Structure 1
Amino acid sequence: MPIKVGMVSLGCSKNLVDSERMLYKLRKSGYELVTEPGLADVAVVNTCGFIQSAKEEAIETILELGKLKEDGTLKKIIVTGCLVERYKEEIAEQFPEADAVIGIGNNKDIVDVLDHVLADERYINFAPKLDAELTGERIISTLPFFSYLKVAEGCSNCCTYCAIPQIRGKFRSVPMEDVLKEARWLADNGVTELVVIAQDTSQYGFDLYGESKLPELLRELCKIEKLRWIRTLYCYPERITDELLETIASEEKLVKYLEIPIQHSDGDILSRMHRWGDAEQLEALFAHIREKIPGVILRTTLITGFPGETKEQFNSLAEFVQRVRFDRLGCFAYSCEDGTQAAKFPDQIEPEEAAHRADIIMEQQLLISSENNAKLMDKEFTAVVEGFDRFGECWFGRTEMDAPDIDGKVFFTSENPLSVGQYVKIRITDTLDYDLIGEVINE
């Protein structure tokens, strides 16, 4: 009987792509893949180590798998990913239940790693992080009609609160021909919605070609016949060019949606974060984007409780959010991370206060979202079907206004059977705070 392998992929979509590449290698080598670690002989944990809550989730996962191993349900555990890359030998020492502890540069050799642990060796190895593969064949583990397309690895922005450059290394773009090859392969395997990602997608191409090649890449992706929706996440505000905006506005397959993480609006805080802009510059940017792309959906992320953030600066941020009225917004409490510049800054704010401020912003955004949704009553949109809700006895999916995993849903009824990945026209009949309710108006 073939050895059964289960993957636990934690953290972001960029990590998920790495997991999918490891799964492909394992399946190609004859291992049987299972979705539940409890059904596996070997569990691979691809950890996240970005912020404290992610570290805690990774540690809890390793300990839970350790109990399965102790019970005899699981035979071997392999741990990799950002937490390992960040803490290396500490992870190997603190988790003796892990049979292999490897850095992200070793992921390409996952089959060899598995051979070691199946031979009852404890395998500890940390290949250079720059050895992490930039492209390669994968298993699509998301819903079959959509997939993430990672166009770069690492980050060179060096924001003072962020450990990603330490963990993942400098920014490295995937050559355009390799990106397009992977995108065509995804489309040939049933993907109709592509989500373009990197740590800073708008920086794509600078290291290889001396300038941003994101607009050109998006135009080339639009030429892939089987793709229907192409979405771009993680564009930094200082790199939003008119060429990019005109490309999104003019290309039919590019959904009118931009995620631009700004983290704050106060110029002094942004400067200490090593981020761009101030409230005036950011407001002008978002007004310009809305002018260039009518009806665009704008998403951002914010951090509250950054060291030294005064109540006045926080209030200014809340007022900024009220003025700009983002369509989608996530707000997170500052997490003090080992090895970052901000961890050494004076005037650290109590985590409870930082979390309280984040809650205030999210309560504010809840009202904005509810008001925005109310304006959508009786309007018609195309939605992609993601599944059937047996409790609500209705279908659910997303319009192009919402990105997978991070935004809201639309719940709708249909007189005819539907299938996952099908695109349907719906009319909005009711709204919730973040979600929509509708009915299919043609099949």
Structure 2
Amino acid sequence: MNQNQTENSPKKVHFISLGCPKNLVDSEIMAGTLMKDGYEVVADAEDADTVVVNTCGFIEESKKESIQRILDMTSLKEQGQIKKVVVAGCLTQRYKDELVEGLPEADLFVGSGEFQNIAKILKNHDAGEKKKTFFNLPTYLQEEATPRVNSQPKHRAYLKISEGCMKRCAFCAIPLIRGNLQSRTIQNIVNEAKLLAAGGVKELIIISHDFTDYGWDLRRKDPNAKESPVELLKALAEVDGIQWIRMLYLYPDGITQELIDLMKSNPKFVKYFDMPLQHINNDVLKKMNRKMTREEIEVALKRIRTEIPDAVIRTQFIVGFPGETNEQFEELLKFVSEQQFDRVGCFKYSPEENTPGGKMTDQIEDHIKDFRHDALMSIQQNISKVKHEAFIGKTVEVLVEGYSEETELLLQGRTSQQAPEIDGVVLINDGEAKIGDIVKVEITESMEYDLIGGIVQ
């Protein structure tokens, strides 16, 4: 704890947010709730009274990272640098009993249906309440009056439109952790978007577990409900101040002609399709409980490229799913080579407890998963290199985000075709601009994932 802190100064809280942007929004809600209640959110754990570790419980690697960060913080507590460690998020929700028993040095465990009550939980604990665990429903759906502090640069923000998922993919534990699909109303979402825009946000990044299923639950309850992906986008396009609207997690079965027509019709919608495919062999897709065939996926891809030739398509694949044969993997490699995707992520299958995939007997050995991952990414790296070289000599619009992470001699930004955190950046080596400006940059050099250029008038 800060040595200069007095008895009457605000309690200080530090957040460690792990995993996906959806988890980050939960951390922002906790921060907003605490600040509204008089707490101060600080940038460094050593300056805090309380550290909240908002965990991820999606795959094995993220679980290990979450546990390590919790142990790091409890070590600080033992050294007397902080007073309290709170464990929140998906890992907490998923492994309630195991975490509480295995981490006695942590003070509080807050599930994904209780994090909105963080201020009350901390105050009661300070007042002497002995209760350590807080688990309610699997998730909390953001409300109209929910406080939230945007932790992103002022010009961009994530906008979470729903919780849970109606898909039941055999490899995924999200429905076990977060429950079934729950959509916010369009009015609720638009009101938040207006608040974000008033705060200087120019880029909205729409997040959910599946954007294309948005509103299905509301329409099921009420046939007159208007909530749908297209109607939501139409409403968000009317928000003054927003210049870029980016959608993440579009499943291929929801890429309709109506959605494509809308994205073509308004320059606010960035021409960026984040569309997880997971595999392309029909037998593997069926075993994964994906609801599309290779043929249907190819129709969706062709539709996008025909209607919006300059669209960026980002996808992800899983290698080493139980029973995946060499022939099925080779089919995937050939597909990646043929399709020339702009961005590809690749995951080595991680067997998850209580999922159909985790119970399958024909698991693939780790060294085979490693080989397949490296083989697929090697092909994609060559594709990315060629695609980036094609930008040399072109002038593109870039949203300036600050100085480069590597050197303050260079500005750094993104084109509309680069999503924050997951894609590359544009390094600006000539010209001046302020953070949040959208400027024209002539590309002069390219790297595997990044571009380099100077501002032109």
Common topology (TM > 0.5): yes
Q: Tell me the distance in 2 between the aligned counterparts of 1:223 and 1:240.
A: 22
Equivalence for 2:260: 245
- Within the alignment, does 1:209 sit opposite 2:219 as a pair? yes
Equivalence for 1:235: 250
Structure 1 counterpart of 2:156, from 146, 153, 156? 146
Structure 2 counterpart of 1:164, from 171, 174, 178? 174
The answer to whether the 8 Å contact 1:304/1:332 transfers is yes
Aligned pair count? 441
User: Gaps spanning 5+ residues in structure 1: where?
Assistant: none
SS in 2 for 1:437: strand
* Superposed CA offset, 1:160-192 (max 9, x none): 111000000000111110000011111011110
- Within the alignment, does 1:123 sit opposite 2:139 as a pair? no
Q: Tell me the distance in 2 between the aligned counterparts of 1:92 and 1:238.
A: 40
- Give the 5 Å matches for 1:59-78: 59-78=67-86
SS in 1 for 2:113: helix
Quick check: 140-149 or 123-132, which moved more? 123-132
Counting aligned pairs with the same residue, the percent is 42
Q: Tell me the distance in 1 between the aligned counterparts of 2:125 and 2:76.
A: 17
Instruction: Compute the displacement of 1:392 (Å).
Output: 6.5
Equivalence for 2:437: 422
- Which consecutive aligned stretches of 4+ in structure 1 deviate over 6 angstroms post-superposition? none
- Give the 5 Å matches for 1:217-228: 217-228=232-243
The answer to whether the 8 Å contact 1:10/1:46 transfers is yes
Equivalence for 1:406: 422
Instruction: Compute the displacement of 1:132 (Å).
Output: 4.6
Q: Tell me the distance in 2 between the aligned counterparts of 1:245 and 1:199.
A: 20
* Superposed CA offset, 1:113-172 (max 9, x none): 111332343521211224454562310101111000000100110111110000000001
The answer to whether the 8 Å contact 2:142/2:184 transfers is no
- Within the alignment, does 1:366 sit opposite 2:381 as a pair? yes
SS in 2 for 1:79: strand
Q: Tell me the distance in 1 between the aligned counterparts of 2:142 and 2:196.
A: 18
* Superposed CA offset, 1:192-230 (max 9, x none): 000011000110111112487111111111111100100
- Within the alignment, does 1:193 sit opposite 2:206 as a pair? no
Equivalence for 2:37: 29
Q: Tell me the distance in 2 between the aligned counterparts of 1:329 and 1:89.
A: 37
- Within the alignment, does 1:180 sit opposite 2:195 as a pair? no
Q: Tell me the distance in 2 between the aligned counterparts of 1:91 and 1:72.
A: 23
With normalisation by structure 2, the TM-score equals: 0.94
SS in 1 for 2:167: coil
- Within the alignment, does 1:43 sit opposite 2:51 as a pair? yes
Cα 1:167–1:122, aligned 2, differ >3 Å: closer, same or farther? same
- Within the alignment, does 1:395 sit opposite 2:411 as a pair? yes
Supply the AA of the counterpart residue of 2:327: E
- Within the alignment, does 1:278 sit opposite 2:288 as a pair? no
With normalisation by structure 1, the TM-score equals: 0.97
Instruction: Compute the displacement of 1:55 (Å).
Output: 0.4
Supply the AA of the counterpart residue of 1:123: K
The answer to whether the 8 Å contact 2:430/2:453 transfers is no
SS in 2 for 1:105: coil
Structure 2 counterpart of 1:340, from 347, 350, 355? 355
Equivalence for 2:303: 288
User: Gaps spanning 5+ residues in structure 2: where?
Assistant: 1-8, 221-225
Q: Tell me the distance in 2 between the aligned counterparts of 1:231 and 1:64.
A: 35
